[in-house]
């Protein structure tokens, strides 16, 4: 039923049905978005009232004192009926066949909105901001306090609209809107557990150490210098980062080759006399010249 008005405001009451009840409905996209389907008589009345474009409407459930906002997708509903997405009916606490009041409104252009996923499964999406931006193309407006539903990879994700600016209801048609995400419901408990584990063992969450055993036994240096026992017996400790954790100590443009050997400047100079004596002990016997002495 359409109520006559002297102003430019359109008001009407319809029987509310879900889009799955639309006769001859074989389209799967009607549930994806925030737009409703109204009867042809509503278009005639809107034209007479000279309602501004885009056509936006306030949906009111007077019995439950609930309201939301939506755009219109088509004017093909049966007279007296109005078809809504199921998630919108849940927000308005409406059952099939109950009465809904609809009136035309003018909403400010959105500047900011904040969402909170109702499940941590939303974090499995590679680029959630891009997915949300693509899904909002099927919406005409947003209302703070609503829980919207978007479909991605054959799965339905629910997000609560926590905040909208510059008003509690905004138009998102042809606008530049900043979007923020609150931590999903249930994510905070998992995060606290990870922080507790990191406090108990900070090395485990960031850097692990691996002991590399060096060759055991005796050895002889080719340059004749005396061998230091610490060079063979002392184990080498190497820093190992867990998989997926970057090395935050890395310096751009610097290649580090860690072999567990001290720099030349840190080595202790040794006595040449002792080195020569060590060389004599290691190499004994008579030497021969390859060159023929008769030539």
pLDDT value of position 199 = 57
Is the pLDDT at 204 greater than 50? The verdict is no
Mean pLDDT, residues 20-39: 84
What do you get for the CA distance between the two ends of the chain, in Å?
A: 128
Read off the DSSP letter of residue 109. Answer: B
How many whole angstroms separate alpha carbon 170 and alpha carbon 142?
Answer: 6
Q: Flag whether 138 is in a domain.
A: yes
CATH number at residue 160: 3.10.330.10
Task: Tell me, yes or no, whether 86 and 16 share the same domain.
Answer: yes
| Shared-domain flag, residues 82 and 119 | no
Q: What is the average per-residue pLDDT within 50-71?
A: 92
pLDDT more than 90, % of the chain:
43
Query: What is the rounded average pLDDT for all residues in the chain?
Result: 78
- Residue ending a domain, among 77, 104, 131, is 104
Mean pLDDT for 281-288 is: 64
CATH classification at residue 19: 2.40.40.50
Greater confidence (154 vs 218) lies with 154
Radius of gyration for the chain, computed over Cα atoms and rounded to the nearest angstrom? 38
d(CA 30, CA 40): 18
User: Alpha-carbon distance 150 to 163, whole Å?
Assistant: 18
Q: Is 285 a member of any domain?
A: no
Does 256 fall in a domain? no
Query: What is the model's pLDDT at position 202?
Result: 47
Judge if 135 and 177 occupy the same domain. yes
175 in any annotated domain: yes
Are 98 and 118 contained in the same domain? Answer: no
Q: Do residues 116 and 98 both lie within one domain? A: no
63 shares a domain with 22: yes
> Is residue 240 included in any domain, yes or no?
no
Number of folded domains in the chain? 2
Separation of alpha carbons 137 and 130, rounded Å: 11
Least confident of 80-89, 131-140, 264-273: 264-273
- pLDDT over 70 at 294, yes or no: no
Does some domain include residue 90? Answer: yes
What phi and psi values does residue 29 have, to the nearest 5 degrees? -90, -5
Of 50, 79, 104, the residue at which a domain comes to its end is 104
The answer to the question of residue 221 being in a domain is no
Domain that holds residue 157: 112-181
Residues 20 and 87 in one domain: yes
Rounded-to-integer distance, Cα 193 and Cα 56, Å? 45
In whole angstroms, give the CA distance from residue 69 to residue 116.
19
Q: Which of 181, 216, 239 is the last residue of a domain?
A: 181
pLDDT at 214 over 80: no
Q: Do residues 142 and 90 share a domain?
A: no
Measured over the CA atoms of residue 282, residue 285, residue 286 and residue 291, the dihedral's sign is negative
- Would you state the pLDDT for residue 153? 87
Residues 6+ apart with CB under 8 A from 28: none
| pLDDT tens track for 228-246 | 655 555 555 555 556 666 6
pTM across the whole model: 0.61
Residue 241 lies in a domain: no
Nearest to 37 by CA among 102, 124, 133, 98: 102
Grade residue 203 by pLDDT with cuts at 50, 70 and 90: very low
Contact 151, 159 (CB under 8 A): no
């Amino acid at each position: 039923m359409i109520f006559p008005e002297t102003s430019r405001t359109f008001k009407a009451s319809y029987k509310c049905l879900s889009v799955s009840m639309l006769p001859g409905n074989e389209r799967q996209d009607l549930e994806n978005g925030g737009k409703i389907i109204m009867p042809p008589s509503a278009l005639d009345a809107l034209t007479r009232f000279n309602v501004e474009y885009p056509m936006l409407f306030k949906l009111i459930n007077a019995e439950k004192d609930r309201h939301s906002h939506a755009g219109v997708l088509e004017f093909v509903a049966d007279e007296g009926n109005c078809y809504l997405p199921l998630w919108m009916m849940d927000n308005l606490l409406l059952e099939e066949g109950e009465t809904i009041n609809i009136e035309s409104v003018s909403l400010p252009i959105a500047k900011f909105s904040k969402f909170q996923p109702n499940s941590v499964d939303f974090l499995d999406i590679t680029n959630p901001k891009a997915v949300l931006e693509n899904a909002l193309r099927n919406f005409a407006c947003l209302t703070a306090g609503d829980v919207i539903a978007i479909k991605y990879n054959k799965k339905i994700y629910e997000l609560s609209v926590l905040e909208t600016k510059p008003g509690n209801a905004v138009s998102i048609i042809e606008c530049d809107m900043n979007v923020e995400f609150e931590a999903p419901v249930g994510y905070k408990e998992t995060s606290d557990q990870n922080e507790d584990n990191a406090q108990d063992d900070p090395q485990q969450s960031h850097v692990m150490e691996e002991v590399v055993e060096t060759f055991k036994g005796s050895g002889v240096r080719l340059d004749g210098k005396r061998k230091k026992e610490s060079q063979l017996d002392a184990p080498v400790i190497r820093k190992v980062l867990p998989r997926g954790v970057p090395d935050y100590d890395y310096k751009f443009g610097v290649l580090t080759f860690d072999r567990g050997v001290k720099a030349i400047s840190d080595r202790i100079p040794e006595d040449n006399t002792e080195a020569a004596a060590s060389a004599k002990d290691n190499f004994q016997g008579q030497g021969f010249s390859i060159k023929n002495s008769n030539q």
